[in-house]
Structure 1
């Protein structure tokens, strides 16, 4: 018997659900947070548009300068006062731009492929094999990242001088055959996240160590491999210093794009006897930028996939 039945005149017990206040409806919640969310979205969009304009301004300025005549290149107008599309035809007669771009693409492909493959092989060795001194050796590899490029510049130059390869493409990509400490670290972290059961099952099936790397590790690490490839392609594409050291004594047609643009700046400089035709330099800079934009437009999904995969591994 309940308490209400035992005690005469006592009110009946109310169900538990009836004393819980009703949850606010969806419309009520939206009404409460609507203004704040709307203001937040407006502020967010303003910030995004502001930063977008800030980062896009140099590119828009470069695009506008490429259509201007000689005397208006540096007038800071984003809409040219005098519009000269003929610059895009004349630049090919003024500069061997096609040769520079071909040289840069070929060298960047060689450098990126060499470092991506070699770093992946070394990284797989550190991730899969267990041997005495592995941690010490891996620490020494990472320690090479602490050496500034200026420290090794002269020794590396003397090595290439002794090989007789100065003035060729080889010094611009040959060192990548030995891998890169940063890329080895990046690939090793990716390989450590792969399930060990796959490699154990493959070994039981008679797969060789090379088969483990080429048939299992590499197909599963395509996102990280492409990230390494894109990073090195960009680094090689923008590498003015190495081209200045190893190619500067050769023919102008053998220059890379960054070295060619530096040469064009000197060629058109009034202090060096030029006429100040910097519109061709701006146009060449714009044309040289486009391949990198296209490359990253096609490779951005691999960046996202690689970051997401690393995030899932914690």
Structure 2
């Protein structure tokens, strides 16, 4: 295959750099606004750089608005959500990929069909289920469902399992290993890229979730970060700088996780689509 010409490569670099700068502008504006004094963000001509840096915005949001508590709540919910999703999806995907039983294809298709249902369709029935279980204003609705599996996670891991050789399972079975041992010692280590991708997907979804905490949580002390950020406007009036500081606090963990896990994330997503 012929390499692209130098001009074409430079054109691609310029387009990519331009796209990167375009995507960074909103984040940089949010960051600089969070470090301005209240009112400086409304001056004309607009300030592009804080002078001086107002770090007190972060202190007020973190301590006085109690974002430290919201961060702990989000961490608790997100960790349990990730654990439940990884454990349940890896087990179900393993069973669907390697076990032969009647109705396996129908079950898999039915599971994929649930991915086509908008969340708004099941929102009200799900709410009444949790209400009948007396679990409103608790964290159970936010993570307990993950221990029952998720269609997207099962599909992602199932596709990855299908790329692995079946001969590994057969050889281990002949050597006397049971299905649990084969799963834990052979296939689970091989699926680390796909599991990492699922963990990142789950982390981002759970950490940024606003609608479900808004529906199920009434106690202010139980708010997660996105919900605390939503109601920050009611706590501080006409202080965009503090709202931007809260936004930076909320988004930093997502950036850190993605930066450190991007290699495994990309590898897992790419490998999961190699074989249908």
- TM-score by structure 2 length? 0.92
Show CA shifts across 1:121-164 (max 9, x none): 11111100111111111111111111111111111111111111
- In the alignment, which of 213, 224, 242 is matched to residue 280 of structure 1? 242
Give me the whole-angstrom Cα distance separating, in 2, the residues matched to 1:232 and 1:141.
Answer: 18
- In the alignment, which of 226, 229, 232 is matched to residue 261 of structure 1? 229
SS state of the match for residue 68, structure 1? coil
Match in the other structure for 2:25: 57
Shift of 1:197: 1.2
- In the alignment, which of 100, 108, 126 is matched to residue 96 of structure 2? 126
Match in the other structure for 1:191: 161
Q: How does 1:1-314 map to 2 (within 5 A)?
A: 37-74=5-42, 76-247=46-217, 249-250=218-219, 252-268=220-236, 274=237, 276-307=238-269, 309-310=271-272
Show CA shifts across 1:56-114 (max 9, x none): 01110011101112212355533125532332333334310111111111111110110
Residues 253 and 138 (structure 1 numbering): CA distance in 2 closer, same or farther, change over 3 Å? same
Residues 118 and 54 (structure 1 numbering): CA distance in 2 closer, same or farther, change over 3 Å? same
Give me the whole-angstrom Cα distance separating, in 2, the residues matched to 1:301 and 1:109.
Answer: 21
- TM-score by structure 1 length? 0.81
Shift of 1:116: 1.3
Give me the whole-angstrom Cα distance separating, in 1, the residues matched to 2:6 and 2:75.
Answer: 47
- Residues 64 and 77 in structure 1, CA contact (< 8 A), matched pair in contact too: no
SS state of the match for residue 164, structure 2? coil
Task: Report which structure shows greater RCO (CA 8 Å, sep ≥6).
Answer: 2
Show CA shifts across 1:151-203 (max 9, x none): 11111111111111111111100111111111111111111111111111111
- In structure 2, runs of 5+ residues without a counterpart are none
Number of residue-to-residue matches in the alignment: 272
Give me the whole-angstrom Cα distance separating, in 2, the residues matched to 1:169 and 1:192.
Answer: 35
Give me the whole-angstrom Cα distance separating, in 2, the residues matched to 1:172 and 1:85.
Answer: 33
Shift of 1:289: 0.8
Structure 1 runs, 4 residues or longer, greater than 6 Å off: none
SS state of the match for residue 130, structure 1? coil
Give me the whole-angstrom Cα distance separating, in 2, the residues matched to 1:168 and 1:235.
Answer: 19
Tell me how large the CA RMSD over aligned residues is.
1.9
Larger radius of gyration between Structure 1 and Structure 2: 1
